[in-house]
Amino acid sequence: MHAIMLKAKLHRAEVTHAVLDYEGSCAIDGEWLDLSGIREYEQIQIYNVDNGERFTTYAIRGEEGSKIISVNGAAAHKAKVGDRLIICAYAHYSEAELANFKPRVLYMAPGNELSHTSNAIPVQVA
């Protein structure tokens, strides 16, 4: 049996660029790709916290240390500079892999400063 699980998440990353006349994709600071385990050209889901848009694209490597989050191509209609995004990657895992499975989460502070990382999502309280 296999399960599709959250592999990695950038929580509340801020859009720095929205470029309509680009081939497509979402450029993400290369350091964040490495920290999160998201690979270049990997499919990602993007959830716009500010306008509720949800869309699928793929990650491309942005300049390391640039703090870039550039939503490109048609997706640029779904996010504008300053919008806060949740960027997620999912993967298939076997039952054996799930025994010790934990996602990699990067929490972003204002200005796209990396606040902290975690391997767990906080428990939601009632």
pLDDT one-digit tens code per residue, 60-111: 999 999 999 999 999 999 999 999 999 999 999 999 998 888 999 999 999 9
Q: What pLDDT, on a 0 to 100 scale, did the predictor assign at position 110?
A: 95
73 marked as binding residue:
yes
Q: How far is CA 89 from the centre of its chain?
A: 7
- 79 or 122, which is more confident? 79
99 marked as binding residue:
no
Mean pLDDT of the 21-48 span:
95
Amino acid at 120: A
Q: What pLDDT, on a 0 to 100 scale, did the predictor assign at position 23?
A: 77
Mean pLDDT rounded to a whole number for the chain = 95
2-95 CATH choice from 3.40.50.300, 1.10.3720.10, 3.30.70.360, 2.40.40.20: 2.40.40.20
Mean pLDDT of the 109-121 span:
93
57 marked as binding residue:
yes
Amino acid at 81: V
Instruction: Single out the residue of 1, 26, 16 nearest to residue 89, CA to CA.
Output: 26
Strand partners, 45: 56, 88
For the chain, the structural domain boundaries read 2-95
Is 26 a residue whose pLDDT tops 80? yes
Q: Is 109 left (phi over 0), alpha (psi -120 to 50) or beta?
A: beta
Is 46 a residue whose pLDDT tops 80? yes
Q: Which one from 22, 47, 58, 90 is the annotated catalytic residue?
A: 58
Is 57 a residue whose pLDDT tops 80? yes
91 marked as binding residue:
no
Is 59 a residue whose pLDDT tops 90? yes
111: which 2 tokens? 């200005």
Q: Quick check: is 25 catalytic?
A: yes
Q: What pLDDT, on a 0 to 100 scale, did the predictor assign at position 83?
A: 98
Q: Quick check: is 22 catalytic?
A: no
Could you tell me the CA-to-CA distances from 102 to 36, 63, 120 in Å, in that order? 12, 27, 6
Q: What pLDDT, on a 0 to 100 scale, did the predictor assign at position 123?
A: 84
